Structure 1
């Protein structure tokens, strides 16, 4: 598969979709918002953006199927071939509140592992791309993870539970300990952006649980191609469908050990 060609074809589509989203951000009204579940919002913008992406991506790679946020049902029995994994608007709540932190995220998986990813953040006009063996770029320029090796100087990103609070106490205890061990914690509200920012060195690491495939498929491969390490909380490679992710540059080993100490030993 020619991943360089796919990036050249699909990158402009992802950017154009994000620019369209940006053009309508100030037109959204409360009547346009639909609640899919507790704190799980969607608007016509998410759905139209997804339709735009799927329509064109199907022409670039006809054999690929789709796992997309607004139309996905059961993805537990997916096959081993190519799948486009799409979040047409990661950070929908931010978008609906006009907070400038949301993105279009498009990943391509093969045998359930990401091989190509694109994340476009329209507020800063930043297109992050990566593909297996090709490295990672930001607006066409090579990027790499932060070289920081000292956990105490690391700025970390995460997300907060927003609809499933089963592990809330465990999570808060982990946050409390990471606050003491790191330079600080940030919560942007869009996992795709967190992963992209870790890939280009703005964050030293990122972790979150209770995620969906479309939250992480693109970001995982971009971060890996930028020199980072990405696993689930147990250190395994099943990230896209596991629902949990931790990724970082040189601090990864210490970061993972700290997470495991407080995650798996809490009740």
Structure 2
């Protein structure tokens, strides 16, 4: 069991790693770099990888290597094969060196660096998210709250409490149920006296989740589905902890904790994910899933 001092040190390593990797990423936005397709899920966003992803990963591993040796930690990182040390060691680092590679290649917002330390039981205990284009680093230690750029962070009350903001992946727009989803969401929103429903599409999973924090009424979700994909463990590891530390709803499609260490797969399609600014919105999403999917 890692003690408080160890977790504090490990969190600082994750912060340093995410910032250095993020600075590298931001410096390459308008530069020439190679890109290719990789085996991923069902969406284009999950299949694009660039040399910048690999360079960012190398920076992060340089920072985390000493802690891996010292504490006998496992490792799961997006741009390397799963060696299944996550199933053996008490804790493992879970790394997404460049979440939102597609928006990065299109030179638009939506990308981030995500690093988490997860217990073998599938629960995050340390998390760091760095947003390169905004120079924002969120960090969390289980039970210790949230920091933003080294200062204590708490939610404010945005002035948009008359609107509902829905964050989703591009792939959902092509789903057969998308029109009905929008119709049902509009009906629900009117029943809650919201004057507008805004849909935000095109961010990576990390930025989608973090963007929910910017609104009074917002959500990001992925319905469970049979097809391989639905994001992977590294897409949700750090943001799950951040939401938990803020006491905000973050669950799978059955109101259970997002399990972040399935022996069978790193993909999350069988679980689905729900991030919400309050319980009412989470329940609306889960009920929508029951009726539509």
Q: Hey, what's the Cα distance between the residues in 2 that align with 1:230 and 1:208?
A: 12
Q: Does 1:235 align with 2:239?
A: no
Q: Hey, what's the Cα distance between the residues in 1 that align with 2:288 and 2:115?
A: 32
Q: Is the 8 A contact 1:105 1:192 kept in 2?
A: yes
What SS class does the counterpart of residue 87 from structure 2 fall into?
A: coil
The CA deviation at 1:60 is: 2.2
Change (3 A) 1:172 1:232: farther
Q: Hey, what's the Cα distance between the residues in 2 that align with 1:142 and 1:259?
A: 31
Q: Is the 8 A contact 1:144 1:227 kept in 2?
A: no
Q: Quote the residue 1:20 is aligned against.
A: 24
Q: Quote the residue 2:87 is aligned against.
A: 78
Q: Deviations over 1:1-30 (max 9, x none)?
A: 23222222321221011001111221135x
The CA deviation at 1:158 is: 2.1
Q: Deviations over 1:112-170 (max 9, x none)?
A: 1111111101111000111101101221233334668x9863323222327xx7xx223
Q: Across the two proteins, how many residue pairs are aligned to each other?
A: 259
Question: TM (normalized to structure 1)?
Answer: 0.85
The CA deviation at 1:75 is: 5.6
The CA RMSD measured in Å over matched residues stands at 2.8
The CA deviation at 1:257 is: 2.1
Q: Is the 8 A contact 1:199 1:222 kept in 2?
A: no
Q: Which consecutive unaligned segments of at least 5 residues does structure 1 have?
A: none
Matches for 1:1-267 after TM superposition, within 5 Å: 1=2, 2-29=6-33, 32-37=34-39, 39=44, 40-62=47-69, 63-73=72-82, 78-79=87-88, 81-110=90-119, 111-145=121-155, 153-161=163-171, 168-180=175-187, 181=189, 183-199=197-213, 201=215, 204-209=218-223, 210-240=230-260, 242-243=268-269, 244-249=272-277, 251-252=278-279, 254-267=280-293
Q: Is the 8 A contact 1:233 1:256 kept in 2?
A: no
Q: Is the 8 A contact 2:29 2:104 kept in 1?
A: yes
Question: TM (normalized to structure 2)?
Answer: 0.78
Large movers: runs of 4+ above 6 Å: none
What SS class does the counterpart of residue 177 from structure 2 fall into?
A: helix
The CA deviation at 1:195 is: 2.0
The CA deviation at 1:204 is: 3.0
Q: Hey, what's the Cα distance between the residues in 1 that align with 2:212 and 2:7?
A: 22
Q: Hey, what's the Cα distance between the residues in 2 that align with 1:231 and 1:172?
A: 24
